[in-house]
Amino acid sequence: MTNPFSTNSQMSKLLVLCCFILLPSIPVLSQVSEPVEESPVLKIREPITLDGKLEEPIWQKAPEAKSLLYLQSDRTDSSQVETSIKILYDASNLYVGFNCFDSDPSLIRGEMTIKDPDLRTDDSVYVLLESMSDNRHYYLFGTNIRGALLDAKISKDGSVIDPKWDGRWTSEAALTSKGWTVEVSIDLKDLKYEEDVDKNLGISLSRVVPRLDSLLWSGPLDPIFNIDEPQLIKKIDLIARRRAFGFNAYVLPGFQTDEGTGFKGAGIDATYSPHKNLSSSVTLNPDFATVEPIDEQFNLTMFELYLQDKRPFFFKATKPFDSNFNLFYPRRIGDIYGGFKFQGKTAKLEFSGITSQTKKESGIPTANFSYLKMNAQLIKSFSVSLTASNKLLENQNTGAAAVSANWNLTRKIKLAGQFFLSYGDFSEDNLASLIKLHLDLPSFYLHLNLKRIENHFWENANQVGYILDDDRQEIELFLNKSFPFDHLGMENIEYDSYYDIYWNTEDTLRSWQIDQSLTLHFKNFWKLTVLHTRDYKFNTLFPEGIVEPGEGIDIEDWNDFQSSLGSLPYFDPVYVFNLLNPTVGRKYQLYIGSKEYNNYLTKVTSGFYKGKGNNFSLSIGMGKFFAQNYEYYEAYKDFIISNNFYLGIRANWIKYRYNILPAYQSTRIYILEGTYDIDQKRTLRIFFQHNSAAQKFNLFLNYQWEILPFGGMLHLIYQRGLAGFGEVGLDNQAIYTKFIYSF
């Protein structure tokens, strides 16, 4: 197969020139910058009293939110009715205030008083909120002058309306001399809002005036909203709670197997946030000993798995790291003496950074890990960014830096490019580049990525970041198309496909992959997906001239061959070598590897997804993973045992025809996690997992108790099985008593 990146086609040079010479000149075409639009909401410290009158002074301080109002296109005379809207929120509730002016208040109509009525024949107001946990649904809240409450859960296309859904909310209304007013209070817990995390909430508001709006309704939401209108949903920012200064100190006495009982450590976190757009924090000797274990999972690739770091300093880090080339990967960092991180933004500039110093342990010297990213919005449709990561170990710097450009050609077409330079032990063949062209339509998207990674980029950049592989010239294509299908109880059909092919920098084909999936979305929230994937892999470690497939070889000769390869550029050289070149037998081994592999997987997944506590999925698959056929099973179910107790259970099983260690081993993984809110001051967190291949049992219990008001928290923590991800299980245990005080 011809490589379009080859020197004959000059494609790679042309792409780099287009992205990094042509694109930066685009801002010259327009020097006009558009002002940043502030979110029309106001955060308050204390709850308001709902009386429907909008007379509390805080309502006057709130910005006007009329831009969020949906305008009925068929209204006969909008000048007769004007609507003023204010929005407040606190740690628990979202408050929406409607001031509904009317040229003739005597004509205001209010008849309905029952629960979940059809309010469209009454003067009424509505709030439509986008679910934060499920991108396929809205929540609808409506009320009238008499306080009737209507709520429902609605699919994104409006085809499924569930009036049986009940949210936690209330409203109060009042007549005035100029019309009527109403205050709506919605419990933010239903929207999965956390006060310590910034949230971007989709919202739309509506007012129905039956004497002016059309009575020839075309659907159950007409004339309240037109779900198909592209600009129906606007975004508002719910900003996390901030104090200018904050301090969290902890002490940690406890017991651990082989270490005994004693004082395990103490530390402090300090935060400084002088403005909602600027924050920073410092940590000294953070507690990583009591962090919940990382979920075990299968690795059905020849590359390192990406694992989400659960340590608070990194988990609640700055802006998300780059998703294409992760130049900063916190899992590279062990225990640290301390760290510093910051993030901020202005009208045109966003910046974030993090640095930490690791502890000296077991002969490994201390090292500094740092990451910095700056993004400048030069004009509304064009931005550039600079990214850098670095590891400083014994006066030697290793890492990578990148320059990126993003250009929104239209609202639906985006073009982006990135250029990377790595540095460290290798000063040649240490570059990488990426070009992205994305087309996003309401029911279709196409994403094209072109990559070139030279064959020593991985060795440098992976010291700090997460890079799958190098020595590749790659073309990736993602396609997605959804079709409405209102038959057999279905809502729509979704087709996904993924195409990937790459060569090495000497134009040898290394891999291709094709994924095809079809998903049926049912109106009862059930989903059925069929996936088939095929891929080809070239064995770069094939023992050419040493042994052929099916031949036997003496174990000493085989070990000599493996040693002759020297240091291999893989995350786990022993695993990858045995994955590509498996042998069976003891002293006299039979080679069952291949020079080329054709892998496949066919998997069927079925389940329903109705929000937290009401999800279920079951997957069954079979395939071939390099030299072995296997079967795959996965099941997940979560439960809301009571209003205060949530539990999730996941089971995975991969079964090979026969085991060939270390790469091919039948494995069962079980994970159970739950949270029990005993009361407002006490919570119990439960996490258990078992990995049969590693003979690992992890049990983690964290009992949290707010023993002092305004910041005194006691944690009682029990852990059994302290081995890390992928490590062989250890039957050790630890008990900690951790006290944290925030001030």
Each residue's pLDDT tens digit, 619-654: 999 999 999 999 999 999 998 888 688 899 999 999
Using DSSP, state whether 49 is helix, strand or coil. coil
Q: What is the pLDDT of residue 243?
A: 63
Which of these, 387, 437, 384, lies nearest to 406 by C-alpha position?
384
What are the b/e assignments for 715-738, b being 16+ CB within 10 Å? Answer: bebebbbbbebbeebbeeebbbeb
Predicted confidence (pLDDT) at residue 438 exceeds the cutoff of 50: yes
Tokens representing 174? 């009042």
Predicted confidence (pLDDT) at residue 231 exceeds the cutoff of 50: yes
Question: How many percent of the chain have pLDDT more than 70?
Answer: 90
Q: What is the pLDDT of residue 516?
A: 97
Confidence of residue 486 (pLDDT cuts 50, 70, 90): confident
What gap in Å lies between CA 201 and CA 207, rounded to an integer?
20
Q: What is the pLDDT of residue 241?
A: 62
Tokens representing 409? 């050609």
Q: What is the pLDDT of residue 7?
A: 45
**Per-residue model confidence as pLDDT tens digits over 248-275:** 899 989 888 888 888 888 999 998 888 7
Whole-model pTM?
A: 0.74
All domains of the chain, ordered by start, with CATH?
A: 1-33+325-431+459-469 (no CATH), 42-238 (2.60.40.1190)
Which of these, 572, 307, 294, 333, lies nearest to 464 by C-alpha position?
333
Does the bond joining 230 to the residue before it have cis omega, within 30 degrees of 0?
no
Predicted confidence (pLDDT) at residue 392 exceeds the cutoff of 90: yes
Rounded (to 5) percent helix, strand, coil in the chain: 10, 50, 40
Mean of the per-residue pLDDT values for the chain? Answer: 87
Amino acid at residue number 472: R
Residues 6+ apart with CB under 8 A from 415: 19, 23, 406, 407, 409, 435, 436, 437, 438
Predicted confidence (pLDDT) at residue 12 exceeds the cutoff of 60: no
Q: What is the pLDDT of residue 196?
A: 60
Predicted confidence (pLDDT) at residue 193 exceeds the cutoff of 50: yes
CB atoms within 10 A of CB 658: 9
Predicted confidence (pLDDT) at residue 14 exceeds the cutoff of 50: no
What is the mean predicted confidence (pLDDT) over 491-501? 95
Predicted confidence (pLDDT) at residue 9 exceeds the cutoff of 80: no
**Per-residue model confidence as pLDDT tens digits over 336-360:** 999 999 999 888 899 999 999 999 9
Which of these, 428, 415, 433, lies nearest to 460 by C-alpha position?
428
**Per-residue model confidence as pLDDT tens digits over 723-739:** 888 888 778 889 999 99
Confidence of residue 464 (pLDDT cuts 50, 70, 90): very high
Q: What is the pLDDT of residue 1?
A: 61
Tokens representing 4? 């379009």
Confidence of residue 27 (pLDDT cuts 50, 70, 90): very low
Predicted confidence (pLDDT) at residue 19 exceeds the cutoff of 60: no
What gap in Å lies between CA 737 and CA 287, rounded to an integer?
12
Predicted confidence (pLDDT) at residue 324 exceeds the cutoff of 50: yes
Q: What is the pLDDT of residue 452?
A: 96
List residues bridging with 2 in a β-sheet: none
CA 226 to chain centre: 29
Q: What is the pLDDT of residue 608?
A: 87
Confidence of residue 709 (pLDDT cuts 50, 70, 90): confident
Confidence of residue 134 (pLDDT cuts 50, 70, 90): low
Higher-scoring residue by pLDDT: 618, 235: 618
Which of these, 283, 296, 315, lies nearest to 197 by C-alpha position?
315
Confidence of residue 116 (pLDDT cuts 50, 70, 90): confident
Q: What is the pLDDT of residue 715?
A: 93
**Per-residue model confidence as pLDDT tens digits over 557-584:** 898 999 999 888 888 999 999 999 999 9
Using DSSP, state whether 533 is helix, strand or coil. strand
Confidence of residue 17 (pLDDT cuts 50, 70, 90): very low
Confidence of residue 22 (pLDDT cuts 50, 70, 90): very low
Q: Are 439 and 413 in contact (CB under 8 A)?
A: yes
Higher-scoring residue by pLDDT: 330, 74: 330
What gap in Å lies between CA 353 and CA 344, rounded to an integer?
10
Which of these, 443, 523, 519, 530, lies nearest to 487 by C-alpha position?
523
Question: How many percent of the chain have pLDDT more than 90?
Answer: 54
Q: What is the pLDDT of residue 23?
A: 42
Q: What is the pLDDT of residue 20?
A: 42
| Contacts of range 8-14, beta carbons closer than 8 Å, 24 or more positions apart | 12/433, 12/452, 12/473
Q: What is the pLDDT of residue 31?
A: 38
Confidence of residue 601 (pLDDT cuts 50, 70, 90): very high
Q: What is the pLDDT of residue 43?
A: 86
Q: What is the pLDDT of residue 258?
A: 80
Q: What is the pLDDT of residue 6?
A: 52
Q: Are 43 and 239 in contact (CB under 8 A)?
A: yes
Of 24-33, 159-168, 200-209, 435-444, give the lowest mean pLDDT range: 24-33
Confidence of residue 218 (pLDDT cuts 50, 70, 90): low
